Chains A and B, each alone.
Chain A
Amino acid sequence: MFDSKGITKLIALAVLVSLLVSACVATPPQAAAPAGEQSTTGGEQITLRWANIIDATGQEQWQAVVDAFQAKYPNIKVASESTAGSGAAVYPDVLKTSMASGSPPDLFFMWGGSIAQPFIDAGQVMELGPYYEQYGWDGKFAPWVVERIKSDGKLYGVPYHALGMGFWYNKTLWNEKGWTAPTTFAEQEELCAKMKEEGMYCVSMGGKFGWHTMRVLDYFLEHHCGPELHDKLNRLEEPWDQQCVIDSYASFQKWVDNGWVVPDFLTISPDDSRFPFFAGEAGLVLEGVWYEGVLKNNEQNVADYDFYLPPTDHEPLRFSAFPEQWMIPAGAAHPDEAALFIDFITSPEVQTQFPINDFANSATVGVNPDCNEWPLSCKWREIILSAKDTYPPTDQAFVKELMDGFFEVQDAIVAKRLTPEEGAKLMQQRAEEWLGRQ
């Protein structure tokens, strides 16, 4: 149909036509930013890719914040890329894939500790020290949160949430029974025994992913080992086959054997573990500051509930707490604009102007939730921001592979397939195996 000359002519014609068409439909030059609006990137229109786990309801709330940012910086369009609902199970995989394929977002949400560490170790995130200086972020956040997100003394993230965990209980039910929040570990166990006598379980937990059960075991470790040793165990600076770990496993086995824990919980989903608590069959759940939202979502009367910090018999009374943060990938296309966006969304002014649910547990100092609307979050906020020290959940202290060794032992202790001594020994073996592979 066409000889080679004909094809050449045809291609030349196509190129010419496409050039003409593109010239005709080219975007008109950007109008100058009106007064009050600020331009970055020299006026170039950019799209900022923002990876997060915000669900549909949260996205709706966040839209007002994003709109305010875009109105202030009209040359930046923020594109939210959400992996909602998966928690830490899938979201890090999504990030990992985007980074490995050379197409990372411009900024992303991340938990603290060992979940963030692989990204730091792989050199996939920026060290944000210069941005801390540029934006004056020092002093903007709760000090323990900043310390907790540091890696080798360097900051690779900007604090977003400061979250703590405690025992939640139905105070209306407790008032009827005449129970009060314990102040010592012995009182805690006495309370569990009383609940059992009343035909209730003491604690409800869901062991499916391991981390929900881990919170209770972490509490025992803090009690039996004390703050200093607990921290050293988390850093693998002390062996796990020592007496305080054995005692912790023994306490765990005792709670299960005494019927203080809702039975057969090992593969129950953490979400499903709420039902015995809501039904008044279990007296406690070890949950975080976010639980007020969970109560509301499950149509529970928040006024019926309260929480207390699990007594550890140590001073200061430490509780399990962890940060969440924003990070910027090393390969981000627009790191400066990402830092600008982070500065905007973490500023006390913006968080006060837009009191969305996600800001109720903000790591930013000077931001408080509406105490009429969120009384328990308000109470938590005082505790979290004034805490001298906290301990991390073990799953933010250990990498996932080692953590699954921890879960393996935890489950075996519950199922009585291991004695506390054997459990401690196996945990130490898992730690050594992991260290050996590093």
Chain B
Amino acid sequence: MSAITNTPPNHRPTHRHRRLRLTPYLFLAPALIWYLVFLVYPMYQSLTISFMNWDGLSADIRYIGLDNYRRIFFEDDTARLALWNNVLWTLGTLLIPTTIGLMLAVALDRKLRGRTVLRAIFYGPAVLPLVAVGMIWAWMYNPQFGFINYVLKAIGLGFLARGWLSVYETALPATFLTAVWGGVGFPMVLYLAALQAIPQEQYEAAKMDGANGRQLFWKITLPWLREANVIVFSLAVINSFKTFDLIYTMTYGGPGRATQVLGTWMYFHAFQYYNAGYGAAIAWVIAIITLVMAIPYIQRMSRD
């Protein structure tokens, strides 16, 4: 009779199992380390600094709790003006470049001669550096030798010619117009991609049922663009609150402080006024607003 020995199964992971379990983490490690060192750690540092009174230079750092945040919302007129300008900028961005982008996408989705060239032309401004765009447009707005006043005078509308960026009332809209020029291409491309995913059978079936062009757009096209809308709107809001380059290059926040936005006001405080703590607090206000706005975008992207 042979003795049957019931040896318990060996639950100790083998060398091979251990290696397999670690492998994904090893692949993730470079990106994770990069992310922790260059993103998470600076964010943590910046959050800490936002509770301090610090000039960004000396060893004299003082904890002041929420004072910097209180100052943004209750004491600093310019911060509130900057926030309001950001809100206006966001509303404008949601409405104008997005609508133009959609219209262009619908137009260029059709079989037109030279539509590839037209797509490239309309997308072109989106790939230009905003600093260069700002400088070029600042020249175009120049009251003495700028292209815009020149054209207005040439077509008999000389009474409209003015220092577009020097007048308090027109400085922000004029800067925003530049943003529209540069910002139409991106939503157009996103909408074009979405339009091309719509099954043509649906249009054909609807046409057979007698649907007209308007009905096709509202009943088929627009519902199919829901996914694209989430992305376009979320990115529009996020980018609007991050606005910096155009204001910095075209008006430097002026005249007076009329075109200050949170991004430039943060920069002025953190880097020019030696108020690193206050600048960090403004940066976190921007970050929180954009994070809240980004939630639907992140949810949608995660689900996909």
Contacts and interface: CB of A to CB of B under 8 A. Distances in A.
B226 to A, nearest CB: 41
Nearest to B250: A267
A118 B55 contact: yes
Nearest to A412: B256
B294 to A, nearest CB: 28
Interface string B37-79: 0000000000000000001111110000000000000000000
Contact of A99 (B57, B138, B168, B171): B57
A122 interface: yes
Contacts of A89: 272
Contacts, number: 99
Interface in B221-270: 250-252, 254-257, 268-269
B166 interface: yes
A414 B256 CA distance: 10
A171 interface: no
B274 interface: yes
Given A264-B167, A267-B166, A96 B256 contact: no
Contact of B273 (A266, A400, A408, A411): A400
Contacts of B173: none
Interface stretch (B27-35, B142-150, B196-204, B208-216): B142-150
- The DSSP consensus for interface residues of chain B is loop
B272 A400 contact: yes
A266 B163 contact: yes
Given A267-B252, A401-B275, A122 B166 contact: no
A411 B252 contact: no
Contact of A264 (B58, B162, B272): B162
Interface of A: 89, 93, 96, 99-100, 118-119, 121-124, 207-210, 262-269, 272, 275-276, 399-401, 404, 407-408, 411-412, 414-415, 417
26 contacts: A89-B272, A96-B271, A99-B57, A118-B55, A118-B57, A122-B58, A123-B59, A207-B166, A207-B254, A208-B251, A208-B252, A263-B163, A264-B162, A264-B163, A265-B143, A265-B163, A266-B166, A266-B254, A268-B163, A275-B144, A399-B274, A401-B269, A411-B254, A411-B255, A415-B256, A417-B256
Interface of B: 55-60, 138-139, 142-145, 162-163, 165-168, 171, 250-252, 254-257, 268-269, 271-275
Given A207-B255, A268-B166, A404-B257, 11 more contacts: A96-B274, A265-B163, A266-B163, A266-B165, A266-B255, A267-B163, A268-B143, A272-B142, A407-B256, A408-B257, A415-B167
Q: Which 7 A-B pairs have the closest CB atoms?
A: A264-B163, A122-B58, A264-B143, A266-B166, A401-B273, A122-B57, A267-B165
